[in-house]
Amino acid sequence: PPSHNLEMKHLPGADPELVLLSHRYEELERIPLSDMTREEINQLVQELGFYRKETPDAPVPEEFQFAPAKPLPTLLPHKAPAADGKSLSEQDKKEHPDL
């Protein structure tokens, strides 16, 4: 099924992998998919927070426009900049895990 902010590219001869990019297109992580079934891959995409669309051209709710917004468990935590340019405190992150 189509997912928002998820693009599939077929590279002949390459092992399949999910490449996660930041909003600046910086590579965050590569997840090998060779040993996974289609169902396992769909579950992974859902767990990562990608929004599943009904049809490829279906509208995406505003709260999912920049999804997935969940922090990746395999990445080291970092301070996300707040709207005013200041870093969020650890307490803010605990209270708002989606930031």
Strand partners, 29: 20
Q: Residues 54-81: pLDDT tens digits?
A: 898 899 988 888 877 545 455 445 444 4
pLDDT of residue 35: 95
Q: Domain 1-74 maps to which CATH number in 3.40.30.50, 3.40.50.150, 3.40.718.10, 3.40.220.10?
A: 3.40.30.50
Query: Residue 5: which of 29, 30, 22, 28 has the closest Cα?
Result: 22
Give the total residue count for the chain: 99
pTM exceeds 0.75: no
**Extents of the domains making up the chain:** 1-74
- Residue 19 CA to residue 8 CA, distance in Å, equals 10
- Residue 72 CA to residue 28 CA, distance in Å, equals 9
